[in-house]
């Protein structure tokens, strides 16, 4: 029987007194830890709207068997439901890894105000890494993005997960 390695990282508890980019990214990081505990790739996401968290989730592709169940997709759906509008112009997405082609595209289609991400992804990231989808010339929404927020911690989490190290128990 193969069981996942217990997550060796602890959640962080940022002060509520300073709700800056680091604060929201740390909440996304906590979501990523929850993902690991469910044996999902540890990527977490938060959507902030007018200073409040209106959506929080993490990757669920394994448990749902749904390739679209990335953290970013889930919080975009959740945020639109929370405010009753599919246009999220005033909302900001915080995600622990640079969004893939699908999630970068979703951020544009949802008209998100800004995307902050931690770990850069030169292979699949489409908000600056492998490509900049937000730079396509004829989009009807101008998305901006910032990488590198809480990067070391989110990257360490991902790397530890992929180093893999499942424990094989005799069964």
CB atoms within 10 A of CB 83: 16
Of 5 and 102, which CB lies nearer to a second copy in the complex structure? Answer: 102
Q: Rounded distance, CA 10 to CA 150, Å? A: 15
User: In this structure, is the dihedral angle defined by the CA atoms of residues 91, 97, 99 and 103, taken in order, positive or negative?
Assistant: negative
Question: Out of 108, 118, 149, 158, which residue is the one contacting a second copy (CB under 8 A)?
Answer: 108
Interaction of residue 39 with a second copy, rule CB under 8 A: no
Residue 72 designated active-site: yes
| Number of chain residues interacting with a second copy (CB under 8 A) | 38
Other Cβ atoms within 10 Å of 11 Cβ, number: 13
Least distance from a second copy to the Cβ atom of residue 109, Å: 5
Q: Which two tokens stand for residue 56?
A: 């929080």
CB of 18 to a second copy, least distance (A): 30
Rounded-to-integer distance, Cα 113 and Cα 23, Å: 18
Give me the catalytic one of 40, 72, 90, 151: 72
Query: Based on CB atoms, which residue is closest to a second copy, 77 or 146?
Result: 77
């Amino acid at each position: 029987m193969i069981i996942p390695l217990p997550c060796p990282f602890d959640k962080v508890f940022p002060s509520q007194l300073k709700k800056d980019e680091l604060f929201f990214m740390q909440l996304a990081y906590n979501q990523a830890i929850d993902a690991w505990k469910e044996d999902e790739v540890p990527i977490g996401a938060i959507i902030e709207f007018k200073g409040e968290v209106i959506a929080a989730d993490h990757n669920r592709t394994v448990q749902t068997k749904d390739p679209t169940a990335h953290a970013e997709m889930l919080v975009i759906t959740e945020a639109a439901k929370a405010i009753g509008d599919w246009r999220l112009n005033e909302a900001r997405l915080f995600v622990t890894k640079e969004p893939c082609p699908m999630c970068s595209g979703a951020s544009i289609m949802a008209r998100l105000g800004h995307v902050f991400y931690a770990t850069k992804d030169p292979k699949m990231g489409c908000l600056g890494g492998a490509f900049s989808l937000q730079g396509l010339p004829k989009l009807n929404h101008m998305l901006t993005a910032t990488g590198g927020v809480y990067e070391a911690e989110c990257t360490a989490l991902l790397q530890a997960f992929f180093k893999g190290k499942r424990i094989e128990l005799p069964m």
